[in-house]
Each structure stands twice: as structure tokens, then as C-alpha cells.
Structure 1
């Protein structure tokens, strides 16, 4: 049986409210009424161990999913580990690793990811995404242009590059011969379970240990396969 104190800390309302980012198609798919994917399966696994039902709060962007968690509307969330977020929420070790990559016009002189940060280069990013946060703190010369979807911003403003998650951006490039990916990846995106810092130490240890178990026993890998995703399961913490 779950420890009642841990259940009370993580699901004080008697239901685990899970914030799901449908804007990351590697981690979640489906609709707000019928979400699917690895984060949905992780939510169910956590709720099952706590002995409570799960309620999904679905959003189209990581920024909104993060806001729901830190604002108290959700009990757990599934986000990339970034310093700007870690100042306000607590993270487990990562359970999945994905990559952030650039795409550029086929005619662009840019051939490597480390060439993109230069004067005059304007890069489209999804506002509040992990790669937006990362590029905000690491770029020195290029300019970021934010919007609801990075590819839409890139096309609308005819920018020099677009940043995104490898899998969906690769599909865009496959369908658009005017674009090409720039290698290598500019960042590794470490997806983790998050909760608010005010949860008990025992509750945080429970989440940490459960994530490690679900990585090691094949649960995370199976959830990725079942949702048709080819992301990498993170190694042990």
C-alpha cells in the first residue's frame, strides 16, 4: 500500500493532477479529451502507485504546462530540465533524452550548428520551449524571434533559421525541400518529472525512485514504442 503521507503530499485533493504538454509530439499525442504518449503513461503509473485516480490538464506549450504546475493547478508535470525552471520547480533525473536542432534554408551558407550564432542571424523558436530557454542563455550574437510555433514564425517572417525538437522538425524538412537540417544537435533536452518544491522530502524521493524503476524495467521504453516514438531512454541517475 502507498504511504498515506506521500499520497497526501503529491495528491492533496485525492486525485493526481498531471500537466501534459501536447505541444511536444514526442512526449504526448492525441487531444485534450484523449491524451496519449509516454507522459500520459507515466502519469497513470504515478497515480497507480499512489492509489488515486489521475486527471489530465492538457496544454499546447511547455510554458503553459509549467505555469499550471508552479501556480498550483497541477501536482506533477513533465518538462525539460532547464535552470530557469529549476528555480521554481523540483525535477527528478531525466527519463527521456531528445535533441534540439536547427533547420535553415537550403541556400543558406550555414552548414554546422556552431555557425548559427552570428551577427544578422534571426532564429525562430517556440516561446517558452526548452530550446528557447537554452538559446536565450547561450546565444551571444544571433537574435531569437518567438511565437506559438517556431516553423510558423520562420515562414511568416522569412528568418535565417528555425529551432525545434529533432523528430518533428525532421518531418517538416522531409516535406519541405527548401529546408535542411544543420548538424549536430545544438542541445540535449532532458525530459523529467517535475513537482513543486513544497512537496515533502519523502514524496520527492518516491518520484525519483519510481522514475528510476520505470526506466530500468522497460516501462518508459515500451511507452515510447507504443506511441511510435524513437527517443532515447535516459540512463540511471
Structure 2
């Protein structure tokens, strides 16, 4: 798969690939504690795409998914890595998913909430990371419970504890990590959603650019690149998405 000059110009009009990186999801990206450099599966994909295009890569990091999406939607970045959601699709052309992540609820051991079906009640407040995939999803799905928005996904459990809320919602691994030092908390037994992590580019870049991006993601899945990246970065609990039919 080799890009032609038109595709290269569409995806990297500034002669470099500006990649929007969401540091709010540790499954996708983080900062190396020793070097301070960005690392993760989305970083690896961005660098490989830059290599395919024959351009340098500029990594633009954000602390929330919402800011990362906004950068691409407003064309302050050329590509981004975030969950597929209809609310984001107005201005962004998505690929199929490359990684699947599970969304779970966290509650206290003493909570009367025992299953996902117990969550959506008027007396329950559910904290989510503002602008996250599960914020968008639960804002549509929950009809009775109140949504409380933490400033970022990493702040969800802290907000849950400080405000004495009934439920925290988020990426399974992130909730587990944040709650590890807090006794008396547990995840409900079943996921409430599967988060489809994909790549995206502004729709204004045209059909050829979107097609190249879709084909790139499919090749990265099929070749084992995504699986290798997940293993290399020690990511557990996320799976490579199946091929796009």
C-alpha cells in the first residue's frame, strides 16, 4: 500500500503528519516514566503511518479524548486515535476499529447496585470522563440516572470518592488501576459497552485520504502490528479488533 502524491498532500498538508494523542486512556498511550517520551499503541501506529507517507510525525498530546477529537475536527491535527461514536462522525471520517476495550461500572461493596440493570435509576449518579466514549454512550442510553462529568477519565474514581457518588463508569483497566488502593470497591460483573478504538481524519481531507487510512488500519491488524504493539507495551484486557468485512 503506497500513497500517491494527492493522498500524501491530503493527510499531511503541512509536510508532516500531526497526530492527536489522547493520554487519558492508558490502553492507547502514556508517558515513559524514565524518558518522559510518549509511548503506546497509538504512538506506534502514528509513527508507522508517517513512515508509509514518507513524512515526519508530530505528536500532539491531550489529557482527554474530547480535546483530542476536537483537534482533529478543527483540523489542528491530521489524524487521531479515539473511539467511534456517531456524535463524532459529523466532521471526522473513521476507520474500522483496531482495538476493542471494555467499559465497566465501579461501585462500593456496600452498594445495592449488583448488576448493570440496577444502575439506571433516578437516585443514582454516574460519573464519567467528560467527552469520553462512555460519556457519549451513556448520555444516550441512561434514561433516569444522572450523569456527572469529571474533567478527565483519570479523574473519574477521585470524583466518585470525593463526591460520594453511586457509580463510576469507564475503561475496565483504568478503573481497576485507579481503585487499587481504595478498599471496598469492585466492578460489576458484566461490561456495559465495548469501546471501538479507531483512527480518524477530518472528512474535509477527502475520500482518498479516508480510504488510505482505512486500508492502513486493516493492514496493521492483519499483519500482527497492533497485536505486537499491545504485547510490547504490556497492555492486558484489550483485544485486536476483527477485520472489517
TM interval, shorter chain, is over 0.9
Structure 2 CA distance, aligned partners of 1:147 and 1:108? 21
Match of 2:149 in 1: 146
Tell me, yes or no, if the aligned pair for 1:102 and 1:181 is still in contact at 8 Å.
yes
Q: Secondary structure at the match of 2:157?
A: helix
Q: What is the CA distance between 1:172 and its match in structure 2? A: 2.9
Q: What is the CA distance between 1:119 and its match in structure 2? A: 1.7
Match of 1:187 in 2: 193
Match of 1:112 in 2: 115
TM-score (normalizing by structure 2) = 0.94
Structure 2 CA distance, aligned partners of 1:205 and 1:89? 13
For these two proteins, the number of residue pairs brought into alignment is 237
Deviations 1:92-130 (A, max 9, x none): 000000011000011001111121111200011111111
Deviations 1:55-76 (A, max 9, x none): 0000000011011111111000
TM-score (normalizing by structure 1) = 0.97
Superposed CA RMSD in Å reads: 1.3
* 1:18-167 aligned within 5 A: 18-30=19-31, 34-148=37-151, 149-167=155-173
Match of 1:217 among 213, 223, 231: 223
Structure 2 CA distance, aligned partners of 1:66 and 1:4? 26
Structure 1 CA distance, aligned partners of 2:41 and 2:92? 21
Q: What is the CA distance between 1:33 and its match in structure 2? A: 5.8
Tell me, yes or no, if the aligned pair for 1:114 and 1:186 is still in contact at 8 Å.
no
Tell me, yes or no, if the aligned pair for 2:3 and 2:212 is still in contact at 8 Å.
no
Structure 2 CA distance, aligned partners of 1:4 and 1:79? 27
Q: Does 1:8 find its partner at 2:15?
A: no
Q: Secondary structure at the match of 2:220?
A: helix
Q: What is the CA distance between 1:201 and its match in structure 2? A: 1.4
Query: For structure 1, which runs of at least 5 residues remain unmatched after alignment?
Result: none
Q: Secondary structure at the match of 1:41?
A: helix
Tell me, yes or no, if the aligned pair for 2:157 and 2:179 is still in contact at 8 Å.
no
Structure 2 CA distance, aligned partners of 1:155 and 1:87? 35
